[in-house]
Each structure stands twice: as structure tokens, then as C-alpha cells.
Structure 1
């Protein structure tokens, strides 16, 4: 049995036996999420929680001054940053920034691959956020939240992480990135849904992580999955990206593909990506 097939067999067995080691959300993200879910939380208390992690605090200040939020007056403190960003978005951003810590490795080859995977995720997020912004502007539709969509896109491919972690024990498979892409395509959905349940994320995130790669999984209404798929298609990170975009246009996610090639769209996309790099 080839190394690649052996690894795939190991992964499938561990998934079926519920023995695959899933990543845990970093402690600071857990603290922020728990605080944000407290009905008695306020902005001052949230700033105190974030202030416990100097790196996260600095990133929050940077984001609050970013082009994405479009504010001219700069903030200089964590409390000001939390006030500007808002509790819900702080919860999602803290989760996103903490997630980046998961895509690391001491192995030089694996580290490079994981870094590229993280940048691919950021590309999906930037495209998805820009597409939703254009969609909401055109349709005045507020049934979907840009904050929820942002985090949905960020965790959509989290199932790839255990595949890469397991592959790290057989690092020669990284000489064949096509195999890893196939393994991720086959298994990341099931694994991602398991991670979302383990992290106690709600059904919106579970559904997207499990099904966004499966084009046969179609919801009648426009949903977060549609924007994640468009984000991946625009980044040329999904199979049949032309089909994905055609389906999205037919569904009404956008009226004309040219809308997603304008300077306005590019600015929205780049500003969104700037939140996480």
C-alpha cells in the first residue's frame, strides 16, 4: 500500500472510530467567546478580557483602525477598540485571530503548507465578505449577518487541519500536494463538522463546514454557504469554479459576474483580508 493510501486509510479509520485528534480552540478565544455570551457583559469588561492577551489586544487596536472600518479618528486603547468594533464582531475576530495559531508546525515543509492553507482561507474570507457587502447593498437584505458570515468562512475549511496534522507524521506525502488536496476534499467536511460540534458552534457553522464543498447540497434560500462557495471560486480554490459562480448568479447572490471584478469589489476584498493579515 502506498504511503498516500495508507494515510487515507488511517484517517478514515480514525474518523469512523471517533479517535481522530481534533484541534482545540486557543484559551483566549474561549475566554472572549464565553464573555461575549454573558448577558451581563459590557464593553469595559470585554476590554479587560482582551487585555489579558497583549498580542490580541494589539491586533484589535490595529483592526479598529483598519480601512475596513473606514474611520478617520484613530483609537489607541483596547477599550476604544472594543467600543468601535462591537461585542459580536470582537467575539468573531478573537476567534479568527486565535485560529491562525492552529496553522503552525515545527516541520519546515508542513509549516509552509499550513501557512499557504491559512492564506487560502483568508482569500476565501475576503472574497466572501466583499460579495456579501455588494449583495446586501443591492438587495437591502439584512437577514444574514456579515459578522456571522465572516466567521463561517474562516472555519469552513477547519477540517483540513487534522488531515495536515496527521500527514505531518508521514511528511513525505507533502511531496505530493495533489494527494493532500484530494484527502482534504474527501474528508475535511466530516472532520470540520465534528470540530464545530466539539467547539460548541451552532448549526450554521456545522452545516457550512460539512457541506460547502458538496455542490449537490443546495438550500433554496440564499445562505452563508453560497458566499463561502463564491469566495472559494473567486480565489480559484474550488473545483468547477465557473459552475459555482454560474449557480450563484442564477440564485441571485449577484446579478452580473462583472460586479465581482470592479475596483469597488477589489477594495472591499482587500480591506476585508487586511483584518487578518
Structure 2
């Protein structure tokens, strides 16, 4: 395959990179192997719950994370879960699929360059914070299922992962972290749409990536998941040029969920307890070590913000 032209201006570089993804010349990451195994079983009408439990048990960190999720207030019922089989039965097919993909996301980037690793870790840390806000906001508003919001928050910037991996083939381009982040900000949404389309994820998830920085976005009807994730993203990392109170997504969310505080600062106060819980869940087993290359199958700890 012909090597990419590395002597390009920033705008031309962005166009060239995106074209490589559209043409299939740049590598789109495969779904996490743990999810592929679970997907095959979930699609097999003859697969038993016991077989599914054995498959998940073969991945101890994933098993521990699912058990921790099952202890959240969302799943606490009158009868406690005493086994992984009980947990899987309570989670259900769609929720299990979402949670396994959430957990597997942390190992999708396999770059070796320190500069690219640093940017990946920063963006993954931001994704965890955005997902925590999205889950807490879904829990408080009832607008979406919490696991859908959790996954959408993590996937909103998924396009950055293959972008950073592809840049290893462009060694002459600057490796300044600010420039790399700017490149991701420009292209992550478009590349994320490509990635999630290849993965055959629901359109509602794809739209969250497509509109990740489309702050003026307008649409007819009630607030949707993309609106919720936009608000969560703004709460996690406020955008100076677009105050939350004037964000169309926030205005639709308030109209759709009148029980939510109308004042942004009061909304943050409402989310405090839920946010702490989701930060704990996401930070405990889904972070990437500052000293280890992502993608090595481990799940070391990165201190939470």
C-alpha cells in the first residue's frame, strides 16, 4: 500500500486522513474480543446462560466489573445476586452487550509512540468522565437507559483511537500534544461514524459521535441521546464559547425532563451523588496505566480526576 503524503498543511492533512478511513485504507479497530465472544453466544439460540457465564468467567477483570455494576442501585432488587449467572440473568441481552463493549473499549488503542499514548490516555480519561456524567444525567432524568448513556459517553470520541493509530504511519507530522488533540477534535466525530458503522452499532449511538461538537444542533421533537451526551460532555469539560444555559441540547433536555433543575449549577448539584458512583465504577477497572502501552490486555489503574 502506498505510504501517505506527510508534507501536508493542517487542513489538507485532515482531509487526507479522513479520506483514508472512507476508502478503507486506514485500519478500523476490531471490536473487543470479549464482546465478539459474547455477541456470538447472544446470537446463538442454543447457547445456555451457563455457557455464557463460563465464557465471561474466563475474563476475570470483566467478571469483577460486571459484578460491581450489579451492585449499583439500578439493579438492586429484593433478591441479591449470588452468582454470575444471576447477574447475567438480571442484566439482560442488550444491557450485557453494552457493558461488555464499555469494558473492552480501554484496550482498543495499541500505539507504541509515547506522544500518541499520552494523548490517548488524556482522551480516554476524558471519555470516562463524560460517560460518568452521561450515566448520572440519564439516571436523574430518565431520558435514556443508563447503560445506553454510559456507552454513548464512552463512544462519542471513539474516532480518536484509530486516528492516533493511523498517525504512526505519518512519522514526519508534529507530535505536539496540542496539535494532536486539535486533530482529534476536528476528525473524531466523522471517523467515529465510520468505526461504529463498521461495528453495526445502533444509529442512536452513531448520532452521538456525529454531533459530538455540533453545539448549535437543532431537531424537531423531544431531547434524544445525542442531546444528553452533548450536555454531559459540556458538564465534564465546559466550552467557553458556548455556555451550557444557551446550548440547544440543554434547552431541549429541560423541556423534555421538567423535573431537572433549569439552572446549570443546580443541575450539577443534583448529579453529585450519582456522578461519584459512576466515577468509581468507571475508574476502578477501566483505566489505562500511564506507564504501560494500551492494548496489552491488562487494566491497570489511572488516578481519577
Q: TM-score, normalised by structure 1?
A: 0.82
Identify the residue that residue 162 of structure 1 maps to in structure 2: 162
- Corresponding position: 1:103 with 2:109: yes
| CA–CA separation in structure 2 for the residues paired with 1:244 and 1:180 | 30
Identify the residue that residue 134 of structure 1 maps to in structure 2: 140
Identify the residue that residue 8 of structure 1 maps to in structure 2: 14
Shift of 1:94: 0.6
Compared CA separation, residues 15 and 105, structure 1 to 2 (3 A): closer
Shift of 1:230: 0.8
Native 8 Å contact 1:153 1:228 kept in 2: yes
Q: In the TM superposition, what whole-angstrom CA distance separates every residue of 1:21-74 from its partner, at most 9, and x where no partner exists?
A: 111102211122333345666643431331232332232223323577567997
Compared CA separation, residues 167 and 54, structure 1 to 2 (3 A): same
Identify the residue that residue 219 of structure 1 maps to in structure 2: 219
Aligned residues: 270
| CA–CA separation in structure 1 for the residues paired with 2:249 and 2:217 | 13
| CA–CA separation in structure 1 for the residues paired with 2:217 and 2:48 | 39
Native 8 Å contact 1:4 1:179 kept in 2: no
Alignment of 1:174-253 (within 5 A): 175-220=175-220, 221-236=222-237, 240-243=241-244, 246-253=247-254
Identify the residue that residue 266 of structure 1 maps to in structure 2: 272
| CA–CA separation in structure 1 for the residues paired with 2:239 and 2:171 | 24
| CA–CA separation in structure 2 for the residues paired with 1:37 and 1:11 | 35
Counterpart among 70, 94, 99 of residue 100 in structure 2: 94
Compared CA separation, residues 118 and 171, structure 1 to 2 (3 A): farther
Alignment of 1:29-44 (within 5 A): 29-38=35-44, 43-44=49-50
Identify the residue that residue 291 of structure 2 maps to in structure 1: none
Q: TM-score, normalised by structure 2?
A: 0.76
| CA–CA separation in structure 2 for the residues paired with 1:269 and 1:247 | 23
Q: Which runs of 5+ in 2 are unaligned?
A: 1-6, 255-259, 284-305
Give the structure with the higher percent helix. 1
Q: What is the RMSD computed on CA atoms of the aligned residues?
A: 3.0
Compared CA separation, residues 238 and 185, structure 1 to 2 (3 A): farther
